[in-house]
């Protein structure tokens, strides 16, 4: 199955960074607090797309303060209301190393999309879960049984991986159906834009 999943659909907003140089922890903190305000304004399930298209440079401290802290803080508050998800968009090779390093240091991961619209998983994820994530990214939306059949794998093991990926906010699950976060971005744009200054 592919396409826009109805009941799975979160509220989507775009956090456009509009900065070429994301360096220093102080800059990262200002950006993160602005994105947190955007996330806090939404009460239902939400997906925040952090747009890196204008970013030329991001250093480790800024990547840790913006991306790793956002993911860590969101996962640390699982019982407070609806789930929030993040996707990094417009990622270049120069962005991926500092972001991945910051996430790995904290044992975290995040879904990302390159400037060429290729889905990538940044951070720390075991090989089996990464394979399931990649298969779901290609399928768009599927149940564990269908995805296991596509992968020629065990449905129970696939379901366990999908549940873990959902807990880590790397896919969105509802009942027995799971969706790639990229399936919500098929039109190429999200919802309201947020500008970080």
Tens of pLDDT along 80-132?
567 889 999 999 999 999 999 999 999 999 999 998 999 999 999 999 999 99
Distance CA 162, CA 122 (A): 17
Residue corresponding to tokens 């209301």: 81
Q: Element (H or E) spanning 109, and its range?
A: strand 109-114
Q: Element (H or E) spanning 185, and its range?
A: none
Whether 92 contacts 162, CB under 8 Å: no
Delimit the domains of the chain by residue range: 11-195
| Domain 11-195, second-level architecture | Orthogonal Bundle (1.10)
3-class SS of residue 108: coil
Which parts of the chain have pLDDT scores under 70?
1-9, 17-18, 78-81, 186-197
Residue 61 structure tokens: 């401290």
Phi-psi region of 163 (alpha: psi -120 to 50; beta: other; left: phi over 0): alpha
pLDDT at 68: 96
Average pLDDT taken over every residue of the chain = 85
Distance CA 145, CA 129 (A): 15
- Predicted structure pTM score: 0.85
């Amino acid at each position: 199955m592919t396409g826009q999943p109805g009941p799975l659909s979160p509220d989507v907003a775009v956090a456009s960074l509009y900065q070429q140089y994301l360096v220093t922890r102080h800059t990262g903190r200002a950006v993160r607090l602005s994105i947190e305000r955007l996330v806090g304004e939404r009460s239902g399930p939400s997906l925040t797309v952090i747009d890196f298209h204008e970013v030329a440079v991001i250093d480790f401290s800024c990547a840790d303060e913006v991306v790793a802290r956002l993911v860590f803080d969101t996962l640390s508050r699982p019982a407070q209301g609806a789930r929030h998800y993040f996707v990094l968009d417009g990622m270049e090779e120069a962005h991926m190393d500092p972001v991945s390093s910051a996430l790995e240091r904290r044992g975290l991961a995040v879904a990302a999309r390159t400037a060429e619209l290729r889905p990538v998983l940044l951070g720390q994820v075991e090989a089996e879960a990464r394979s399931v994530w990649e298969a779901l990214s290609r399928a768009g939306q599927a149940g564990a049984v269908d995805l296991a059949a596509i992968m020629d794998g065990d449905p129970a093991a696939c379901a366990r991986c999908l549940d873990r990926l959902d807990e880590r906010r790397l896919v969105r699950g509802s009942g027995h159906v799971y969706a790639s976060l990229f399936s919500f971005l098929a039109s190429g744009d999200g919802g309201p834009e947020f500008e970080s200054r």
